[in-house]
Amino acid sequence: MKSGKQRREEIKARRLARLSAARAPSPFIPTRTVPLGAVAADPAQLAHNTTWSSLPSFYIDTPFVCKDCGAHEIWTAKQQKWWYEIAKGRIESSAVRCRPCRLLERARVEEARRVSQAGLALKMEKKNNEN
């Protein structure tokens, strides 16, 4: 069991950690200065996003861990700009898979779709032959 003093020190340390995380630059808070290496966002291209939160004014490189293989990757600001502004992705979405795992997942989904459509075609052919 911890003493009250130890407990207060833990609480204080957690508060300081939250405060330092809150002070980190966020692309969703409009600022006059853009961090080094950031890519400016085009608000006109983000009009498709209907969100209550504010839209980013710039994109910064964001690290993530691939949910399939566990590889540590970086979603670059340039990739984010393409995803949100050109491909019209949802602003709430973010990268979850590395490139090799994305290609594998895409192939898996395409194969499942092909098998499903082949099964449906076989079912329809069987139904038409009965009539």
Q: What confidence category does residue 27 fall into, taking pLDDT thresholds of 50, 70 and 90? A: low
**Residues 90 and 70: beta-carbon distance below 8 Å:** no
Higher pLDDT, 10 or 35: 10
- Evaluate if pTM is beyond 0.85: no
Q: How far apart are CA 49 and CA 68, in angstroms?
A: 28
Domain boundaries, the chain: 4-60+76-95
Furthest CA-CA distance within the chain: 83
For residues 105-121, give the mean pLDDT.
Answer: 96
Is the per-residue pLDDT at 34 higher than 70? Answer: yes
Q: What is the pLDDT of residues 51-102, one digit of tens each?
A: 787 888 899 999 999 999 999 999 999 999 999 999 999 988 999 999 999 9
Q: Check whether 1 has a pLDDT greater than 90.
A: no
Task: Single out the residue of 51, 58, 57 nearest to residue 93, CA to CA.
Answer: 51
